[in-house]
Amino acid sequence: SREEKDPRTIGELFYLCCDEMENIRFAQSLFLVMACLKETLMNELVLSEQHVQDLLDTIFDSLPELFKPFLKENQLNQISKAA
């Protein structure tokens, strides 16, 4: 019974959607962390916006290639505008 295939799951579509949802959550989480980092750097350390942006760019450039496709360009721009 547990081993039987259920046609209502449409094959692996259900599992593919679940995997994609986890990737979206990861990207959103990373975006929030980076936005908080930018705000903290600007407020606590009194760094110029350009200096903070350079730091964020360095961090993003050093991310593993595996993570980069999940970070949309508009999210990177939103981090730039945050704070």
- Say what the pLDDT of residue 41 is: 79
- Say what the pLDDT of residue 83 is: 47
Between the alpha carbon of residue 28 and those of residues 22, 69, 70, 76, the distances in Å are 10, 13, 9, 11
CB 81 within 8 A of CB 38: no
CB 37 within 8 A of CB 56: yes
Closest CA to 31 of 77, 50, 62: 77
Per-residue pLDDT of the chain (83 residues; tens, 9 = 90+): 556 666 665 667 666 767 666 666 777 778 878 888 888 877 777 778 888 888 888 888 888 787 777 666 555 566 656 54
The pTM assigned to this predicted structure is 0.46
